[in-house]
Structure 1
């Protein structure tokens, strides 16, 4: 045994507990005994155990995202965007249940195909009407003039194609009557994905109502407006000229008035739909009635080409009566 003193560095004594207090005498917070994180030098020279798996990467704890201070620059953890359900509210505005995005070319193609169906119905109705066009011309001619059966002035033809053009025009009325329901229904099918359920209900109710009101308007024109108008024309022309009505010009006036009054009789439907959908109220329409009257008069003189003013006056009075009658019915049923 050597008498030389042993170097303190060669003698390992028992581990003394370290004082974790800081310089101020306060104990530093420590994690639990099992939560102390090893330093990088503790494991630098150690050999990995055979049964140990690969070292853990950042993917286990989450993606390593690079940011620029305002947002994520690297790959997003969800690369595929998510879209809201069509039935959910987006920004406080709900979308129709069947609404979906379509390319513009698909919309145009669908619209063209639906218009082609309407034109097919109209062309078929016009072709059928040509079979009885001559009988229809005779029937209309002898019923719109205020004469007895034997005193009605015969129609006069002033160009070679006037009779055929008049046949086509009178046949087109039948084609329009057949194509109108098809047009309204095809419009409904085209707009259906973008309509809410309550709007679909109103539209479907408006389809047959519109057709019925159009037929009533044409019948009203044929039974009441045209006889009054031709009575007036005959009255101021009898004493100064021989009456000889041209076939083409006479039927142009007849077809124009019948078609325009078919549109005029849609006024009650438009008012009812506007009130039911919350666009306006009966009280507001009643307060602005003078403006509507002026608009009706302007439309009548614009679309009814009669220099005497008789036809525009009859049409304007009809429009005002329809407007006021609808407001009266709404007030009677308690709508405000």
Structure 2
């Protein structure tokens, strides 16, 4: 560790405050830059559902202020995601001085992998899961019923799905962290495969729409990513006798 770790608590709190201000400023800057395209950003998010609706159908706004505030909320979330590398840099700059060299070598790839995997999970959800799920839900709409979704409800659903798929794609990072911290062994991770299979399908059944295709489209990538995590653990195994 460096002398930074031996500084008084007040110095750490001031440094944390400074880093948080820089991170918040990055989010604010991205938000201001993206505000002119707030309506376009929401249209892009709504595109998978609109493509599945019957012709001449659309979405509705049951709240008077929803047409204004819902696109702003979407833009804020987009700004947080766009500025995430900047935010993680300041998080890293705050904790790095207190880490050993070995820990630094491990945490940097994990941070980069976490961002990329979360983005990959969101992209997978948007381009593959949403079209399949919305086509299924539109096909199941009874005759005489107009499938007109409220834009606020749709935003909540989309954000929840993005969070679920983004978090699910973090499975390799979680596996590597558990193994690297010595919480579990490589043999225990391999022995847990049957429970992981059951858990993946249970999680998929809870967080996805009620169709088999969407559930499989979440569970199968989770299982594949778990195996990738095992391969990474094997490449960095702590005990040379492990195989």
Q: TM-score range by the shorter chain?
A: 0.7 to 0.9
Q: Is 1:244 equivalent to 2:148 in the alignment? A: yes
Q: Give the structure 1 partner of residue 61 of structure 2.
A: 157
Matches within 5 A, 1:26-37: none
Q: Is 1:117 equivalent to 2:26 in the alignment? A: no
Q: What's the TM-score once normalised by structure 1's chain length?
A: 0.61
1:152 positional shift? 6.6
Q: State which of 215, 222, 226 in structure 2 corresponds to 1:323.
A: 226
Corresponding residue pairs, total:
238
Q: Give the structure 1 partner of residue 92 of structure 2.
A: 188
Matches within 5 A, 1:142-221: 142-147=47-52, 151=55, 153-221=57-125
Output the CA distance in 2 between the equivalents of 1:252 and 1:98: 45
1:277 positional shift? 5.3
1:275 positional shift? 3.6
| Distance change (3 Å), C-alpha of 1:140 and 1:203 | same
The one-character-per-residue Cα deviations of 1:271-309 (angstroms, maximum 9, x if unpaired) are 23444555433321121234444555565567x386x47
Output the CA distance in 2 between the equivalents of 1:214 and 1:318: 13
Q: Is 1:265 equivalent to 2:169 in the alignment? A: yes
Output the CA distance in 2 between the equivalents of 1:99 and 1:309: 53
Query: Which piece of structure 1 moves more, 324-333 or 273-282?
Result: 324-333
**Matched residue of 1:237: which SS?**
coil
Matches within 5 A, 1:1-336: 96-98=1-3, 100-147=5-52, 151=55, 153-239=57-143, 241-276=145-180, 278-293=182-197, 295-296=199-200, 304=207, 308=210, 314-327=217-230, 336=243
Output the CA distance in 1 between the equivalents of 2:78 and 2:194: 36
Name the Cα RMSD after superposition. Answer: 3.2
| Distance change (3 Å), C-alpha of 1:104 and 1:312 | farther
The higher radius of gyration belongs to: 1
Answer 1 or 2: which has greater helix percent: 2
1:99 positional shift? 5.3
Q: What's the TM-score once normalised by structure 2's chain length?
A: 0.81
Output the CA distance in 2 between the equivalents of 1:151 and 1:328: 48
The one-character-per-residue Cα deviations of 1:132-179 (angstroms, maximum 9, x if unpaired) are 11112223323345538x837312111111112211121023212233
- Alignment gaps of 5+ in structure 1: 1-95
- Alignment gaps of 5+ in structure 2: none
Greater RCO (Cα-Cα under 8 Å, separation 6 or more): 2
| Distance change (3 Å), C-alpha of 1:330 and 1:110 | closer
| Distance change (3 Å), C-alpha of 1:316 and 1:115 | farther
Output the CA distance in 1 between the equivalents of 2:137 and 2:36: 31
Native 8 Å contact 1:144 1:222 kept in 2: no
Native 8 Å contact 2:201 2:215 kept in 1: yes
The one-character-per-residue Cα deviations of 1:206-263 (angstroms, maximum 9, x if unpaired) are 2332222222111111001111221222122143622111111112211221233222
The one-character-per-residue Cα deviations of 1:98-127 (angstroms, maximum 9, x if unpaired) are 453222222222222212211111122222
Output the CA distance in 2 between the equivalents of 1:333 and 1:199: 13
Native 8 Å contact 2:48 2:130 kept in 1: no
